[in-house]
Structure 1
Amino acid sequence: MERKLIAIDLDGTTLNADAQISAKTKAVLTQAREAGHIVSIVTGRPNRISSNFYDELHLDGPMINFNGSLGHIPHQHWQGEYQYTFNKEVAFDLLAHRDELGINMIAAEGKNLFLAVRQHPVEVGFFPTVLKSNEILNHKTLQENPTSLTVAVDRSHQEHLLSYLQHHFNDIIDAAPWGGPNSVVELGVKGVQKATGVEALAHHYHIQRQNIIAFGDEHNDSAMIDYAGWGVAMQNATAPIKRLANDVTELDNNHDGLAHYLQNYLQLAE
């Protein structure tokens, strides 16, 4: 079998509901690599909360973070590293209008950037509940252009925020609401998606598109699943992702759906 590039989303795909990689998943991904295939994490998560999974899987190639906006090799310098950023004025504008827009929290992030501000406590799992004084987002602290802005907004204001962003910043950013229970809108550089990162990986490894297999479950996986020669939706994926994919795993992310699928697809020994 030709060498495959296996692009894996984390949440809802490689990770179970407890945000862990099962022993079975770990074993199969290791087996796939031992058989000569490449395994790459392609996630919406920042690098600060995905490098632990990269290390747990003993990966050594590039990882894609922020839905395609950052490509890097953790713990080392890589010549192919890239990072897309947008004008920090977007963050300052949202800070100035946060009351009328119903914004509860804004986090500005990049590879080495994490700053946030919140009106009142927001329970969004990816963010520290207590901010250190040097992590407070304001005009003084935000010196560089961010890769991502994550905005927690009152559910009743979400549509208003989206139309505000569309009206004011449509030419420089894409804004996408998160799936799931939290009312969160994520801002990234216009036109940059997970497929951007997968294309960079394919180029780096000299892999043809037909030899890319991608796994995902949510809206932010759509471009990657579409781009891959073989796009696979998880059993627990949204309906649009299942329609877009070439195939759907038999089992969900809580029952090693990705691992079972890969074992069959790559004909790895049980």
Structure 2
Amino acid sequence: MERKLIAIDLDGTTLNSQAKISPKTHAVLTRAREAGHIVSIVTGRPNRISANFYDDLKLTGPMINFNGSLGHVPHQQSPDEYQYTFSRDIAFDLLQHREELGIHMIAAEGKDLFLAVRDQPVEVGFFPTQLQSNQILNQKSLNNNPTSLTIAVDRPQQQGLLDYLRTNFDDEIDAAPWGGPNSVVELGVKGIQKATGVEFLAHHYHVDRQNIIAFGDEHNDSAMIDYAGWGVAMQNATAPIKSLANDITQLNNDQDGLATYLEDYLKLAE
């Protein structure tokens, strides 16, 4: 079998609902690599909360973070590393209009950037419960353009925030609400998606598009599933992702759906 580039989303796909990699998933991804295939993480998560999974899987090549906006090799500077950023003025504007827009947290992030401000504790698992004094987001502290802004907003005001962003910054950023229980909107550079990262990986490894297999479950995976030669939706994926995919796993992310599918697809059975 030709060498495959296996692009894996983390949450809802490679990770179970406890946000862990199961022993079976770990074993199958390791066997895939031992068989000569490439395993690459392509996630919406920041690098600060995905490098642990990269290390756990003993990966060596680039990882894609922030839905395609950052491609890098963790723990080092790599020559072909890239990062897309947008103007920090957007963050300053939202800081000024926080109250009227119903925003109670903004986090500005990048490869080496994490700053946040919040009015009340926000139960969004990705953010520290206590901010250090050097992590407070304001006009003075944000010296660099961010790769991502994550905004927690009152649910009834979410649509108003999206309209405000569209009216004012539509040519610079894409704004996407998270799936799931949290009312969170994430901003990234206009037109940059997970497919941007997968294309970078394909060039990096000299793999043709038809030899890319991608796994995902949520709307931020759609461009990647569409781009890959073989796009696979998880059993627990949203309906639009399932309709876009070439195939759907029989099992969900709590039943080793990705591992079971890959074992069969790559003929890795022990």
TM tier relative to shorter chain: over 0.9
Secondary structure of residue in 2 paired with 1:158: helix
| Distance in 2 separating the partners of 1:219 and 1:269 | 31
Paired AA for residue 182 in structure 1: N
Structure 1, residues 107-148: CA drift from partner, whole Å, max 9, x if none?
000000000000111110000011000000000000000000
Q: Which residue pairs with 1:118 in the alignment?
A: 118
Q: Counterparts of 1:269 and 1:60 in 2: how far apart (Å)?
A: 24
State the partner residue of 1:98.
98
Distance 2:100 2:129 in 1: 24
2:164 is matched with: 164
Q: State the distance in 2 between where 1:166 and 1:24 align.
A: 43
Which deviations, in whole Å up to 9, do the C-alpha atoms of 1:142-184 show, x marking residues without a partner?
Answer: 0000000000000000000000000000000000000000000
The CA deviation at 1:227 is: 0.1
Deviation at 1:77, TM superposition (A): 2.0
Distance in 2 of aligned mates of 1:85 and 1:11: 23
Amino acid at match of 1:183: S
Output the TM-score relative to the length of structure 1.
1.00
Inter-partner Cα distance in structure 2 for 1:128 and 1:69: 22
Q: How does 1:145-164 map to 2 (within 5 A)?
A: 145-164=145-164
Q: CA deviation at 1:269?
A: 2.0
Aligned position for 2:220? 220
Q: CA RMSD in A?
A: 0.4
Give runs of aligned pairs for residues 119-134 of structure 1, distance below 5 A. Answer: 119-134=119-134
1:175 maps onto 2:160 in alignment: no
Which residue of structure 1 lines up, in the alignment, with residue 4 of structure 2?
A: 4
Q: How does 1:187-226 map to 2 (within 5 A)?
A: 187-226=187-226
TM-score by structure 2 length? 1.00
SS at match of 1:187: strand
Q: Distance in 1 between the 2:212 and 2:90 partners?
A: 35
Distance apart, 1:75 and its partner CA? 1.1
Q: Which whole-Å CA distance do the structure 1 matches of 2:159 and 2:222 have between them?
A: 22
Q: Tell me the amino acid that sits aligned with residue 213 of structure 1.
A: I
Structure 2 matches for 1:13-162, cutoff 5 A?
Answer: 13-162=13-162
Letter in 2 for 1:61: G
Distance 2:121 2:27 in 1: 39
Q: Distance in 2 between matches of 1:76 and 1:102?
A: 39
**Aligned counterparts of 1:221 and 1:176: Cα–Cα separation in 2:** 12
Structure 2: how far apart are the matches of 1:161 and 1:75?
A: 36
Q: Distance in 2 between matches of 1:220 and 1:105?
A: 21
Measured against aligned partners, the alpha-carbon deviations of 1:176-218 in whole angstroms (never above 9, x if no partner) come to: 0000000000000000000000000000000000000000000
Q: Which runs of 5+ in 2 are unaligned?
A: none
Q: Distance in 1 between matches of 2:110 and 2:79?
A: 18
Following the alignment from structure 1 to structure 2, what is the Cα–Cα distance between the partners of residues 78 and 37?
Answer: 21
Report % sequence identity. 79
- Number of equivalenced pairs: 270
Report the counterpart of residue 252 of structure 1 in structure 2.
Answer: 252
